[in-house]
Amino acid sequence: MLARAGAPVVMIGRPAFVEAVKKNGLFLDTLQFQERVRVEAATDLSTIRGAEIVLFCVKTTDNAATARAIAPLLAPGALVVSFQNGVDNVEQIRAAAGIEALPAVVYVAASVPEPGLVKHVGRGDLVFGPRNDTTERVASLFERAGVPCRISENIVGELWTKLTWNCALNAVSALGKAKYGQIAASDDARRVVETAVHEVLAVARAADIHPPGLEDPKSALAGAFKIAGQMAEALSSTAQDMNRGKRTEIDSLNGYVSRRGAELGVSTPVNHALYALVKLAEGRS
């Protein structure tokens, strides 16, 4: 979307993706339009030299290695923005390489059926925070590219709101091989989602974190199923990873809630079960 709006963008990816984009551009099959966008692409991380903004979009399992790799390449004053699932990516990036990244919450349902093709099936908006010159500048950049942005004074809570939806839906989608709409239509699946949500909120309360709009468990559950309705045709990123035989981010989702709950003395049996089952399914228990 940034490149489509004329911003100078370089996408860094694996050889098959880069080859496809260099040859034919990046085809965006979205709910609003279908369009081929010409954008630069490269496989080499050194391409980030001189960049003003680096969107840190790797899987959470690659945080430390990627942060260490890019740290010596960053231009003075370069801004790194974490576009990732989970709530502790900024801390991981800082611990690994001393980079002070900006957290962002990403709401989008998309997949890459083949190199160079992005299939968009729901939402596509961002949350930054807190409000300051940096977050206003980044939000303005995306707004100009047609990506809705919101700035929140409670960005930690916003990250936990997204974590709640991820813990409610991702593993169930992966283990049940089900789209979000199918989960919402199943009474039994809804009971699993309900308990998972209540556990996440209990851990948040114990950690003195306040996810916006989730103070009431009933509204939190309604929010989970609203997300499922908005992204009814989506398979979770966890399901997509499992389908490709890739390692998932479950350690940063239900696994994180299980670990944090144990630290705080909060029982999280459903989140732990979902975490353990995904680990078994991906062969990394």
| CA separation for the pair 159, 214 (Å, rounded) | 12
Using alpha carbons only, how large is the chain's radius of gyration in Å? 19
Which amino acid does the sequence have at 174? A
**From the candidates 162, 179, 226, 279, which is the catalytic residue?**
162
Contact yes or no for 138/61 (Cβ under 8 A): no
Q: Which residues does 37 contact at the CB level (< 8 Å), separation at least 6?
A: 3, 4, 25, 26, 27, 28
Give the residue among 52, 90, 96, 92 at the shortest CA–CA distance from 71: 96
Backbone angles phi, psi at 55, to 5 degrees: -90, 110
Among this protein's residues, is 162 annotated catalytic? yes
Q: How many CA atoms lie within 13 A of 237 on its CB side?
A: 21
**Residues classed as catalytic:** 162
